[in-house]
Amino acid sequence: MPDKRSVKVGFQSWQQEGAQQFTLEGELYRLQLGWTLVYRESPDENGVIAINTLFIEANELRLRRRGTIFLEQGFRQGESLPGKMETPYGTHSVEALTSHLNIELAESGGVIEWKYDLLMQDQPVGSFHIRLDIREEQAE
């Protein structure tokens, strides 16, 4: 049983500005206490590819995004967790209040879905709903 699997990640995001949906390449790693999912976004307007690492445990997610914007943020249902965002304009404290978190993962993939309100320096940034459909890539 391999510890690492190549996966396709169906990424869906809903927020005030509308919805986004695309398929991304990634790797799913099985760990002793959970999973790690690494996936790459399409290049932004500056040609920078953001790499997202999602640390997945039974009832908590931790996201590390490295790109034009660097973000470290945790998510736990019913809780508000601190995070950090670095932009070209400086470093900011952020906080995510997670209202919904569903993790259903197995060796061949699964679904991770969460909803949260993001605050930056105690000011609302927006409400977000993310769904990741993770499927192991099949050998052709």
* pLDDT at residue 103 is higher than 60: yes
Going by the DSSP 8-state scheme, the letter that residue 2 receives in this structure is -
pLDDT in tens, 21-57: 999 999 999 988 899 999 998 888 889 999 999 999 9
Average pLDDT, rounded, for the chain? 92
Cβ atoms of 97 and 117 closer than 8 Å = yes
Annotation: CATH topology of 4-136: Lipocalin (2.40.128)
> What is the residue type of 116?
Y
> What does 14-67 look like in DSSP terms, one character per residue?
EETTEEEEEEEEEEEEEETTEEEEEEEPPP-TTSPPPEEEEEE-SS-EEEEEES
Given pLDDT bands bounded at 50, 70 and 90, which one contains residue 127? very high
pTM as predicted: 0.90
- Cα–Cα separations (whole angstroms), residue 16 to 4, 106, 117: 35, 32, 11
Tokens for 44?
Answer: 């932004």
